[in-house]
Structure 1
Amino acid sequence: MAQVRPYRGVDATERLAQRRRRLFEAGLDLLGAAGQDPAELTVRAICAQAGLGVRYFYETFTDKDDFAGQVYDWVIAEIAATTQAAVAAAPLRDQSRVAMANIVRTIAADQRVGRLVFSVQLSNAVIVRKRAESTALFAALLLQHAGALGTHDNELDAATAHFTVGGVGQTISAWLAGTLRLDSDELVDRLAGSIDAVAGLPAAEI
């Protein structure tokens, strides 16, 4: 196999990673845009936003739906990694607040992320499906957290966990839209308190 020489000091693997990152950022720009609902992305619009030719899109993605799914997974993976790291460093009974603080801080720093993951105004079919998948994951993690506290019983079932996770998402969506006039600390306190109530923590310890 012929060796591909570096171009301007950057090898082929790194150039591919750079283009992939530019396309991901373009997807986040389009899917997380304020006041817009790009229900149907186009490859041409994605490439124009990234400043890349169409051929570079197809070196990584099979089609626009594959692209939208990978953009969502990329964002969720970053949120999950930073949240898990923060939670792992916190005492068990502080973990709900630490987790919510990390998520709220992340979406406050980049509201494109918040709109992609939580906005009810975004109707792209792939993102809607991806959200359903991540809701199931977060519900399972909530049940796991409750079990670690020794409070998981028949009263704390999957339906309750899904209800709570859905409520958290709806609350964050309303906050991003400006219909909830809470500062970030107040929002974190409310979300963490709701999660801990489901997990069975006494109010005085929240």
Structure 2
Amino acid sequence: MQSSPAPRRSYGGKSADQRRAERREAVLGAALEIWQESGWAAVTMRGVCARAGLTDRYFYESFTDRDALLAAIWDQMRDETLTMLLGAITPYADDDPVEQLHAALVAIVHHVGDEPRRAQIIFGDHSGSAVLEQRRRDTIQMAVDLVIDLARPYLRADVDEVAFRVNVLMGIGGFVETILAWRSGLITVDTDALVEHLAGVSVDLAPRFLRPWR
């Protein structure tokens, strides 16, 4: 007669998987706080574990090294930012595509201005970290693909696809650099004024690539 497998033990009503997931979230939360307070370079395995109240072995339970932890935080913030942007655009789905872009600019610029600690993850200084610099490049390309997909229904029939991609890439890369300059004080305007300056660039470029709206 075959014996049945022994039941998995639980502690405090939680399974081993639940407790492992909670420890992972504690490590992520502690690392995020340190990054927001002092920059990515201050995120260390021992510092994170000390803040999370965990021993070192629980760090390696979820992450192979510090780079894996930094990448996980970046991916989480990137996904939350993209979700926020899509949510901002959705109410304008039937409007002029330039209005959709304006709504996205309002959302992201206010996000950076109103929540600078969170914005530091995506719009901070990542020099010196190969994994974060690669994540930054990948995220820009992801944003380029997203903008192109959203704009495709509105493109002119004779649009030059390469020229359009180059301009979108320049626009998003320039946007990121503008936000960095704004955060560092090199550009001194309020949030709404910055939105209008950025939106003006898209208005100037729109006739070259987008068909007349309605």
Determine which structure has greater relative contact order: mean sequence separation of CA pairs < 8 Å that are 6+ residues apart, divided by chain length. 1
- Residues 27-66 of structure 1 correspond to what in structure 2 (within 5 A)? 27-33=31-37, 36=39, 38=41, 41-66=43-68
- Residues 142-181 of structure 1 correspond to what in structure 2 (within 5 A)? 142-151=147-156, 153-154=159-160, 156-181=163-188
CA RMSD of aligned residues (A): 2.7
- Counterpart position of 2:144: 139
**Mapped pair 1:2 → 2:38:** no
Scaled by the length of structure 2, the TM-score of the pair is 0.79
Larger proportion of helix = 2
- Distance in 1, matches of 2:114 and 2:28, equals 18
- Residues 99-110 of structure 1 correspond to what in structure 2 (within 5 A)? 99-110=104-115
Letter of the 1:111 counterpart: P
- Counterpart position of 2:3: none
Q: Which has the larger radius of gyration?
A: 2
Q: Percent identity, aligned pairs only?
A: 26
Aligned to 1:157, the other structure's residue is in SS state: helix
- Distance in 2, matches of 1:59 and 1:85, equals 34
Deviating runs (4+, > 6 A) in structure 1?
none
Letter of the 1:23 counterpart: V
Scaled by the length of structure 1, the TM-score of the pair is 0.82
Q: Which consecutive unaligned segments of at least 5 residues does structure 1 have?
A: none
Q: In the alignment, is the contact (CA less than 8 A) between 2:140 and 2:173 conserved in 1?
A: yes
Aligned residues between the structures: 200
Q: Which consecutive unaligned segments of at least 5 residues does structure 2 have?
A: 1-5
Give the drift of 1:24.
2.0
